[in-house]
Amino acid sequence: MKTIDHMLVQLAAVHLILLLLAQCLNQSEEFRRLTSKSVQYEGVIKEAVPETLETIDRK
């Protein structure tokens, strides 16, 4: 029983460290910019200019 308790304490400590690391990374503006879904959807990170298509038939 002591080994299970010891492993649970170790898992809780690792979880706390990972939680603190994630919170510190989330405070970084650079990291938040790279992981934001809205930036990916808006296409801000893309460096290549997309090819424009003519959608209205002008005669």
Secondary structure of residue 6 in the 3-state scheme: helix
Average pLDDT of the residues of the chain: 81
What are residue 12's phi and psi, to 5 degrees?
A: -65, -40
Distances (CA, A) of 16 to 3, 8, 19: 20, 12, 5
14: pLDDT strictly greater than 90: yes
pLDDT of residue 42: 66
Q: What does the alpha-carbon distance between residue 11 and residue 5 come to, in Å, rounded to a whole number?
A: 10
Average pLDDT over residues 33-53: 68
Specify the pLDDT at position 28: 86
Rounded Cα distance between 6 and 19, Å, is: 20
pTM over 0.85: no
**Quick check: 43 pLDDT over 70?**
no
